[in-house]
Structure formats: structure tokens, C-alpha cells
A and B are shown apart, each in its own frame.
Chain A
Amino acid sequence: NAGVTQTPKFRILKIGQSMTLQCTQDMNHNYMYWYRQDPGMGLKLIYYSVGAGITDKGEVPNGYNVSRSTTEDFPLRLELAAPSQTSVYFCASRGGQLGNIQYFGAGTRLSVL
């Protein structure tokens, strides 16, 4: 059982470039989340989705976009990358029961230079 899979693992972008971070889960979870983690800081929620076709902003959504066309996939789009977006990005998913555990992927380490 693969769980939550993120690609790529590492990426270097130039300022102004765009890219999509991929996230897929095979647990048939309705809820999916994108976080960023900066050194010495807690995980900050960027966007989340409660099901296919439904997304909402988290704490730090500026500079990002998401879509959720299927239950399995929840890609995160960076438009016009900026150095402030240098971070480690984690995708997570959970089932629909109240208080269910969020399961995390291994992360994508992104540097914007």
C-alpha cells in the first residue's frame, strides 16, 4: 500500500518559473491537504480539499493554486515562483470520520533561486 505519494522529491526553480507539485493517494480518502514547512517553523496549511471538485484556502495560500478533479490526485501549482516559496512541501490525506488521522507524503524540497 503506497499511501500518499509526492513527486518530485527535489526541485530547483528560477525566479518567475512555474511548476506543479504532484500528490496522489491510494486510500480513497476524501480529505487532502497541502502544507509547507520552513526551518524552525510548524507546518502551515496552504490549501485543502474535502472532495473532488471542492477546494478551500488555508493559512498561507498566496502564490499557489490547486485543483481536485479526482479523489486520488491533488496537485499544487506554483505560478511565478519567488524566493519566499523556498520550502519543503507536504501533502496529506485522511478519511471522512471525525478526527481521523492525516497521513503524510515524504515531501518535496523546493528551492527558488
Chain B
Amino acid sequence: EDQVTQSPEALRLQEGESSSLNCSYTVSGLRGLFWYRQDPGKGPEFLFTLYSAGEEKEKERLKATLTKKESFLHITAPKPEDSATYLCAVITQGGSEKLVFGKGTKLTVNP
């Protein structure tokens, strides 16, 4: 069974304190890994897609990386507006293109 595990479940940072979120996956064949941001009361908002080990993508203070077993979302010098739940999801091999989601990491950045 395909599984996605995110850690930690919750993370509190001070403004400017860099850190990383982890997404480990066990899938039959990875076709793509997605990172989403979700604010309270809203739907997930797309951040990044990674397709192969070694790939990296950046957007403002966020950088996503991918290995054969896990992905990291690095947050550099976070600001309070980066507070949100970050979701990781994978597309596995097979024709249905279904996403398997992790439970998310709730990030709180204090001023």
C-alpha cells in the first residue's frame, strides 16, 4: 500500500529561524511529488511538483528537494505569514493519477 508520512506533525519557529519539513514515502513507483500549502478554512494551494531524485525547486523562502525515499521542504528565515499547514502528496504509477496525501505539518512562525 502506498504511504506518505510527514514529520513533524507540528512545528513552532521564531521569525527568522530556518528549518525543514520532511515527507517520506513508500510507493510502488513514484511519478511525482507535490507540496501544497493550506491556510485555515481554505483549500490546499499548490507550491511545487518534483518528479525525479535530485530535483530542487524554490519559491521565495521555500525550497523543495527530492530523494528516492523522501522530500524536504526547507524554510529559510520564515515570516509569520508562512504559518500554515504544509501537505505532501504523491502520484503513484498506474493510470488513475490519484494523489496520496500525508497528514501535513502545521507550521507556526512567531514574530
Contacts and interface: CB of A to CB of B under 8 A. Distances in A.
A61 B65 CA distance: 33
Interface in A59-113: 90, 92, 94, 98-99, 101-107
B58 to A, nearest CB: 17
B97 to A, nearest CB: 6
Contacts of B43: 4, 90, 92, 104-107
Given A43-B87, A99-B32, A101-B49, A48 B44 contact: no
Interface in B47-95: 49, 51, 87, 89, 91
Quick one: which of A40, A43, A45, A101 has the most chain B CB within 10 A?
A: A43
A42 B103 CA distance: 4
Given A41-B103, A99-B32, A104 B44 contact: yes
Contacts, number: 57
Interface of A is mostly: strand
Contacts of B104: 42
A101 B101 contact: no
A50 B101 CA distance: 19
Nearest to A6: B43
A104 B49 contact: no
22 contacts: A4-B43, A33-B98, A40-B9, A42-B87, A42-B101, A43-B89, A44-B101, A45-B99, A58-B98, A90-B43, A90-B44, A92-B43, A94-B97, A98-B97, A99-B91, A101-B34, A104-B44, A104-B45, A106-B41, A106-B42, A106-B43, A107-B41
Interface of B: 4, 9, 31-32, 34, 36, 41-46, 49, 51, 87, 89, 91, 96-99, 101-104
Q: Nearest 10 CB-CB pairs, A to B?
A: A104-B43, A42-B101, A99-B32, A43-B101, A42-B103, A104-B44, A101-B46, A106-B43, A107-B43, A105-B43
